[in-house]
A = this chain, B = another copy of it.
Amino acid sequence: AGGDASMHGLIGKLRAQPGQRGALAAILLESTTSMPGCLAYVVAEDTEDADALWITEVWDNAQSHQASLQLPAVRDAIARARPLIAGFDSHWITRPLGGVGLAD
């Protein structure tokens, strides 16, 4: 719901083009350091699939996440990352309740 004050979470697994996982991860890491409302944005390699990356995100609310997609740095990163992405394997939306490692 629009005014939903609960935190907004995303968990996604995406596949890089062969040999491009490192370059893709670098783009994602460098462009996501200062996004308003972003409490967590972790980029991780899958340990079994050499092309797969996991992105786990926590936002203070859904609106902050939506707004981030309009940030120049994020739009630029998406444009640079797109050719390096072979596919989006899976994607879940969550409602984080709390925990360790949420930037304040």
Contacts and interface: CB of A to CB of B under 8 A. Distances in A.
Interface string A1-34: 0000001010100000000000001000100110
A53 to B, nearest CB: 8
Interface in A74-96: 92-96
B101 A29 contact: no
How many chain copies?
2
A43 interface: yes
Contact of A92 (B29, B38, B54): B54
Contacts of A100: 32-33, 35, 38-42, 103
27 contacts: A9-B42, A9-B44, A11-B54, A11-B56, A29-B98, A29-B99, A32-B100, A38-B100, A38-B101, A40-B42, A40-B101, A40-B102, A41-B101, A42-B56, A42-B98, A42-B99, A43-B96, A43-B97, A44-B58, A44-B94, A44-B95, A46-B94, A47-B93, A47-B95, A54-B92, A54-B94, A58-B101
